[in-house]
Amino acid sequence: MKVVRLLIYPLLFIGTFSIGIFAGRNSIDLHRPPAPVYPAGEGTIALKPGPWGNLTCLPITIAAPTELLNVRKTEENPVRWFFKGFTVPRLDDLLKATGLSASQRSRLFASDKLETSPDGLTLTPDRDLVFALPPEAIGKIYRILAAAGENDYLKEIFPASKFEKIVKTAGISDKTVLLLKRVSYQYGKYYFCYCLPYVLASIPTYEEKHLLMKEISRQNTMLVKLWIAPGSDFNSLADYWCRACWSTDVKAILESLAKTPGGGVLDVVELLPPLPTAQLYMFPVPQNPLNGPSVRQDCMWTSFNFFRDTPSSKFNDANYLLECLKSDYYLVKSDPRYGDIVVFSTPDSRFIHSAVFIADNIVFTKNSDNPLTPWTFSTIDDLLDIYSINVLPEEKLTLYYFRNKYY
């Protein structure tokens, strides 16, 4: 994902404002949902009440289907690391400070492994060199790689707890688990890896490669349900959930459930526009080259196409995104609501991620254009944990909420 710099955008004056997720303002006086909401209700979590109504979520895990686990293609992916804004002397000094030997640095900067451009450096490290990198070097390198969207095709993110599950997966050897862990970098609750093709290439059998990719593809997300009590103020609920041209259908559903004896439970996916409804919990299908150039289905593309019936590839262009924000959106200083775009920004005003606000702390997101990254419901807190790798430990990300002027 290409970052968007706020250089001339006048909304920067709000840098000191604080954005809170509202928990009580304009809250709807509904009966609390009965327990359990789900047939197997253990583990269901009640969200904060608000104008979105009474919501519950149930944590679940999804994984890529076998048909999309392209083991051979992933293994053959070139491991090319792009260091945005770096020169050879600057990167050499940084790696030297991590304990990388002179011979290791020399191999990294060999003429056949190095490409220079006005934007930075691209290195193609040997597999055995990557496996020999000390942990401090891996951490420094991965933090730099995370800041450039050009590296997203290699980026694998998984919870630290995933290693426990991989260890228990029949068919995956301890050697493979240890290797994956050694070339991954733990930051907070997550591990980051930018060399999965090399890990796969070191595994002797196809079956084990496939099992490892399946486990890595497993993602945490949630089912989100809306409880509508009998006699609920469906007009107030419609004010929150009805956006763009789907408002009539959504309002009719809410009214019907509010007038049903005993009320009812509605999956929030039924309230989403057609595009995210089709995407939620799905992994991207390979794009057909007969339909033209491939499109980066990353976080920005996902966020700005949320309400569009036909997605636009223009949202791959950072300059177009900035112009769109300036002309079609305004900044929300408090109380974000359904459909607002949440932008995660570094202290130097780089937009590094975006998602669509749903309710409470929940957003609709796609965390990169990596084919093993699905569209999911996540939480703002989890995304802050993931994307804080882009800033120094003493720094924090800033959240901006943008609302479309026309819906």
Beta strands, E only, 232-292:
264-267
Angle at 282 between CA 342 and CA 398, to 5 degrees: 15
One-letter amino acid of 50:
G
Q: Does the residue 268 lie in any domain?
A: no
Beta strands, E only, 53-128:
54-62, 81-84, 114-117, 120-123
Beta strands, E only, 168-307:
185-187, 190-193, 219-228, 264-267
- 356: helix, strand or coil: strand
Q: Does the residue 238 lie in any domain?
A: no
Phi, psi at residue 192, to the nearest 5°? -120, 140
Domain that holds residue 356: 4-52+274-404
Q: Does the residue 288 lie in any domain?
A: yes
- Rounded-to-integer distance, Cα 352 and Cα 266, Å: 33
Q: Does the residue 121 lie in any domain?
A: no
pLDDT at 34: 44
Q: Find where tokens 């259908």 sit.
A: 249
Q: Of 274, 257, 276, 273, nearest to 265 (Cα)?
A: 257
Q: What count of other Cβ atoms lies within 10 Å of the Cβ of residue 137?
A: 22
Q: State the helix-helix crossing angle for 206-217 and 174-182, rounded to 10 degrees.
A: 50
Cα distances (angstroms) measured from residue 297 to each of 158, 286, 314:
20, 11, 11
pLDDT at 368: 87
pLDDT at 183: 96
* Cα 62 to the center of its chain, rounded Å: 14
Q: Does the residue 144 lie in any domain?
A: no
pLDDT at 33: 46
Q: Does the residue 332 lie in any domain?
A: yes
Question: How many structural domains comprise the chain?
Answer: 1
pLDDT at 168: 86
Q: Does the residue 47 lie in any domain?
A: yes
Q: Is the pTM of this model over 0.75?
A: yes
Ranges of the chain with pLDDT below 50? 1-40
pLDDT at 320: 95
Q: Does the residue 314 lie in any domain?
A: yes
